[in-house]
Amino acid sequence: MADIPFVTPLDDVRYGAVQQVSPLVRRVIANNPSKYSYRGTGTYIVGHGDVAVIDPGPALDEHRDALKAALEGERVRAILITHCHSDHSPLASWLREYTGAPTIAYAEHGEVDTEADEESDVKIEESIDVAFMPDVRATDASIVARADGWTLRAAHTPGHTSNHLCFALDEEQALFTGDHVMGWSTTVVSPPDGDMRAYMDSLRKVIARGDRTLWPTHGNPVTDPAPFLEAYLAHRVEREEQVLAQVRAGVGTIEAIVKVLYASVREELHKPAGRSVLSHLVKLVDDELVVVDDGGPSLKASFRPA
């Protein structure tokens, strides 16, 4: 597989502390570490005086209080949401009430997968903030917030979810990548709302942007994006080739494919890995390279070569 140059781990996290990470950007990390969220959700504050907040984070009282302290004396002009998973958007409703600023996102969450709800380990990672509805719906490439000294634009990057947005900070040639690109790991792409074809296309879109810095919601910044993103995409392409090779070799179920391709990965991560394998198989069925028996692609379906 492609060797992705993941960045140095966040070993010195101070939950609730405000860290100035660039001239225009501060970060507050929520105390919600997990095998999926790494050290926790990074909430970003852009600007000084007039500010925007990106991904207010999970519904944790201590993170709410930390944001309240960090924003003392500031005027919040916009609350930007990359997507509405439960570690990103739930505090947006509180912040909207507290500051009067509008919430801005691409849309509410797309199709909910009841099959994923039956998989408890997956549900932890993919828990959805179904109550979230944006005040303002952003469109691709539109300016979503601006103030003296800073401008933020939306970049629609579906794949991890259908409503996923990245936000570009023009003045620093930086991109807040949410869960589309993470500094510490690859991203789960879980159908039906997650879409592997859309994800690969979105990665190519981000590569073409030529940003100088990527600020993921989870993990450290990526300060040399070009080789990182190329390796990130190559990993997905190679994984798809491996999945196809397994099907052609007669390995016809997702459980069996995961046991082969993720043999060196902790077993607790096999269920979310199965979701990504399913996403690859959905794409391969659409490409008419794989046939699915017993209806459409699903975790329990059987697959064979076309």
| Per-residue tens of pLDDT for the chain, all 306 residues | 568 988 766 667 899 999 999 999 999 999 998 877 888 999 999 999 999 999 999 999 999 999 999 999 999 999 999 999 989 999 999 999 999 999 999 987 776 654 544 443 434 345 888 889 999 999 999 999 999 999 999 999 999 999 999 999 999 999 999 999 998 889 989 999 999 999 999 999 999 999 999 999 998 999 999 999 999 999 999 999 999 999 999 999 999 999 999 998 888 889 889 999 999 999 999 999 999 987 899 999 999 999
Q: Give the residue from 183, 218, 237 where a domain finishes.
A: 237
In a domain, 65, yes or no: yes
Using the 3D structure, point to which of 186, 220, 237 is the last residue of a domain. 237
Domain of 293 in residue numbering reads as 240-305
In a domain, 266, yes or no: yes
Is the bond preceding residue 192 a cis peptide, omega within 30 degrees? yes
C-alpha closest to that of 298 among 255, 265, 239: 255
Do 34 and 168 lie in one domain? The reply is yes
> Is 10 within a domain?
no
Mind listing the pLDDT tens digit for each residue in 105-156? Answer: 998 777 665 454 444 343 434 588 888 999 999 999 999 999 999 999 999 9
Overall domain count for the chain: 2
84: Cα within 13 Å, side-chain hemisphere: 24
Q: Where are the beta strands (DSSP E) in the chain?
A: 18-22, 25-29, 42-46, 50-54, 75-80, 103-105, 136-137, 143-147, 150-156, 165-169, 174-178, 213-216, 290-293, 302-305
Do residues 116 and 69 both lie within one domain? yes
Residue 106: per-residue pLDDT? 96
Residue 8 located in a structural domain: no
Helices 270-286 and 225-248 cross at an angle (nearest 10°) of 80
Q: Is 54 helix (H, G, I), strand (E, B) or coil?
A: strand
Is residue 200 located within the same domain as residue 223? yes
CATH number for the domain harbouring residue 37: 3.60.15.10
**Do residue 67 and residue 123 come from a single domain?**
yes
Residue after which a domain boundary falls, among 237, 266, 295: 237
- Cβ neighbors of 189 (< 8 A, separation 6 or more) are 159, 160, 195, 196, 199, 275, 276, 279
